[in-house]
Chains A and B, each alone.
Chain A
Amino acid sequence: MKAASDASMPDSTFLDSTELVLNMGPQHPSTHGVLRVILKLDGEKILGTDCVIGYLHRGVEKIAENRTWAQFNPYVDRMDYVASVSNGLGYCLAVEKLLNIEAPPRAQVVRVILTELNRIASHLVWLGTHALDIGAITPVFYCFREREETLNIFEKYCGARLTTHAFRIGGLQYQTYDGFEQDVKAFCDMFPPKVDEYEELLTGNRIWKGRLTNVGVLTADECKEYGVTGPMLRAAGVKWDLRKAQPYSGYEKYDFEIPTRQNGDTFDRYVVRMQEMRQAVRIIRQAVESIPEGPIMGKVPKVIKPPVGEAYVSIEAPKGELGYYVVSDGGVQPYRVRVRPPSFVNLQALDRMVRGGLVADIVAVIGTLDIVLGEVDR
């Protein structure tokens, strides 16, 4: 394109150039943070992409090696900051595995309630921004209105709204507050009709369908090849959810479905996430009816020193498989904490999803990936 500004160039030079390299981001509202995508275009067609990431890299894994096991706990909230409760749950479960302990039943049920509320909050952020990117302005206001209700519960429970540090290694620090059950039940009654409302706005909407159907298709085999998990994998027809496949925190006790779709396009991922919100409400309802009495903290030593060893523990975070590979050398500090972030791995499939598509689709596809750059870059 440089040639265009050079007046001495014959016109044909400009007309012959078919490929255009376009830079998108890092400061771009549709990249949901600081993601830079370099696009190679032929007219409107995308020939290839290259992601430049790392703008939010804070060296979380390095920090872990310089903190004690318990001190590192709040840091994990800062990775996927719209689903901080899930991050904390994964980390606590990993360290508990190393210590070979389990949280008491009451703590486990409260953990499930908060984690599922957080899944709803995360999906609402996804839905609002995804719709906004595509040009539907209204849903974002509705979504953030309902998300506020979940954040209020977090705030009442632990004082924080986003980076909650809700769980501790071995259980919970705080008892549930008076009226916790009522608040959660009120949310469960209030929320499903709101999902109907969003669906009313979007699911049958011709523009919405036109922008999403057959866009960014990722088949089941491609998902496995790229290690893509979570709603993206389920939208491609793979009925796989870690809460069912390898249950943790007592998920095996709850009755819920794994929503799946067949086409693996952006519209199917939308449908899967919408249904997941309904399923999350279903889990919360069962959990809140069955909060047992009892202690909220397991037998954890004051100074946490897991025996020499290693473990890999993963959970079904709102975005996919979130794993922690933790190594202990018997000391008070982790020897190594590796985070297996779903956003990072899923983002790698971006190129496959948009190649050959139109440049307008890239915004839809970044939205449907549901990435959080804090987690991609760590």
Chain B
Amino acid sequence: MADEQKPGGSEAPLPAGGGAAKQPAKPSPPKPPATMAATPWESDLARELKERFGGQIGETSTYLGQNFIAAKPEAAVPILEYLKLEADFDYLVDITAVDWPKRPERFDLVYIVYSFPRNERVRIKVQIPDGYKPATAVGVHLTANWLEREVFDMFGIEFAGHPDMRRILMPEDWQGYPLRKDYSILRQDQRWVQENLGIESGQ
């Protein structure tokens, strides 16, 4: 899990490193670290969830008319199950992650669910530290299988209990997780490229 920093093969030619936004020519005026201007989301569903899950659910908010729930990592799958069985959210649209390297809980893990009968979409967001293994959602929605494999492939987040936790888009023996912010866009697994493609460098 922690081997994504491969000193030999990788290179970070851009001193900016970190992957955080490299500003083009004109530097923008420094801004205070703003946060999303979300407003609380009040609805029957939000109240039901809070009653059922209590402290495991944080804020229920809405931004640009889209509702989302902040939750404890271990509550994600029970919430998905509850939403599926009790509230008709029968379609898991997507699972993805966002890397915030400066935060102690480094990753946002985002589940998007939709309900056909209610015509409503909800996002469940949990924050997890690097190395934390969230439980798999395959037992609730079969579609989670490939979606979780992609999250693992791109971010190195391993899902506990997943039936087939392999890389899906990158080669199986590739080193590093491309969508982490500290993985430069020019970086590649030199050893893999040389061994498998027979060329010095893919750049």
Instruction: Give residues in A with beta carbon < 8 Å to B.
Output: 53-54, 57, 59, 61-63, 65-66, 68, 97-98, 100, 224-227, 238, 240, 245-246, 305, 307-312, 314, 321, 323, 325, 327, 329-333, 335-336, 338, 340, 344-345, 348, 377-378
**Shortest Cβ distance from A49 into chain B, in angstroms?**
13
Q: Is B170 an interface residue (CB 8 A)?
A: yes
Instruction: Give residues in B with beta carbon < 8 Å to A.
Output: 19, 21-24, 28, 31, 34-38, 63-64, 66, 90-94, 96, 98-99, 110, 112, 116, 119, 121, 123, 141-143, 145-147, 150, 154, 167-171, 178-179, 181, 183, 185
**Beyond A309-B63, A335-B98, A340-B94, is A227–B24 a contact (Cβ under 8 Å)?**
no
Q: CB distance A62 to B21 under 8 Å? A: no
> In the assembly, what is the distance between CA of A61 and CA of B150, in Å?
12
Q: What are the 8 A-B residue pairs with the smallest beta carbon separation, nearest first?
A: A227-B143, A54-B169, A331-B21, A338-B96, A340-B94, A309-B36, A57-B169, A308-B34
Mostly, the B contact residues are loop
Q: CB distance B34 to A332 under 8 Å? A: no
> In the assembly, what is the distance between CA of A291 and CA of B91, in Å?
36
Q: CB distance A227 to B169 under 8 Å? A: no
Q: CB distance A227 to B141 under 8 Å? A: yes
Residue of B whose beta carbon sits closest to that of A340: B94
Provide 30 A-B residue pairs closer than 8 Å at the C-beta atoms, listed in order of the A residue.
Answer: A53-B168, A54-B169, A59-B185, A61-B154, A61-B179, A62-B178, A62-B179, A62-B183, A65-B181, A66-B185, A98-B64, A307-B37, A308-B35, A309-B64, A311-B66, A312-B66, A312-B123, A314-B93, A323-B93, A323-B94, A323-B112, A325-B94, A327-B98, A332-B28, A333-B22, A336-B98, A336-B99, A345-B143, A348-B143, A377-B169
**Beyond A54-B169, A308-B35, is A240–B116 a contact (Cβ under 8 Å)?**
yes
> In the assembly, what is the distance between CA of A305 and CA of B146, in Å?
33
Residue of B whose beta carbon sits closest to that of A220: B116
Known: A97-B64, A332-B23, A338-B94. 6 other contacts (CB 8 A): A53-B168, A54-B171, A57-B169, A325-B110, A338-B96, A348-B142
Q: CB distance A68 to B179 under 8 Å? A: no
**Beyond A61-B179, A338-B94, is A226–B34 a contact (Cβ under 8 Å)?**
no
> In the assembly, what is the distance between CA of A325 and CA of B97, in Å?
10
A321 contacts which chain B residues (CB < 8 A)?
A: 93
B34 contacts which chain A residues (CB < 8 A)?
A: 307-308, 330
**Beyond A310-B36, A348-B145, is A227–B91 a contact (Cβ under 8 Å)?**
yes
**Shortest Cβ distance from A274 into chain B, in angstroms?**
24
Q: CB distance A331 to B19 under 8 Å? A: no
Q: CB distance A66 to B22 under 8 Å? A: yes
Residue of B whose beta carbon sits closest to that of A348: B146
A348 contacts which chain B residues (CB < 8 A)?
A: 142-143, 145-146
Q: CB distance A225 to B143 under 8 Å? A: yes
Q: CB distance B119 to A332 under 8 Å? A: no
> In the assembly, what is the distance between CA of A288 and CA of B121, in Å?
32
Q: CB distance B37 to A225 under 8 Å? A: no
Residue of B whose beta carbon sits closest to that of A305: B28
Q: CB distance A308 to B36 under 8 Å? A: yes
B112 contacts which chain A residues (CB < 8 A)?
A: 312, 323, 325, 340
**Shortest Cβ distance from A36 into chain B, in angstroms?**
12
Residue of A whose beta carbon sits closest to that of B119: A245
B143 contacts which chain A residues (CB < 8 A)?
A: 225-227, 345, 348
**Shortest Cβ distance from A327 into chain B, in angstroms?**
6
B168 contacts which chain A residues (CB < 8 A)?
A: 53-54
> In the assembly, what is the distance between CA of A52 and CA of B31, in Å?
45
Residue of B whose beta carbon sits closest to that of A228: B143
Residue of A whose beta carbon sits closest to that of B116: A240
B170 contacts which chain A residues (CB < 8 A)?
A: 54, 57
A225 contacts which chain B residues (CB < 8 A)?
A: 141-143
B90 contacts which chain A residues (CB < 8 A)?
A: 224
> In the assembly, what is the distance between CA of A333 and CA of B150, in Å?
23
> In the assembly, what is the distance between CA of A280 and CA of B145, in Å?
34
> In the assembly, what is the distance between CA of A98 and CA of B65, in Å?
11
Q: Which of B38, B94, B147 counts the most A-chain CB atoms under 10 A from its CB?
A: B94
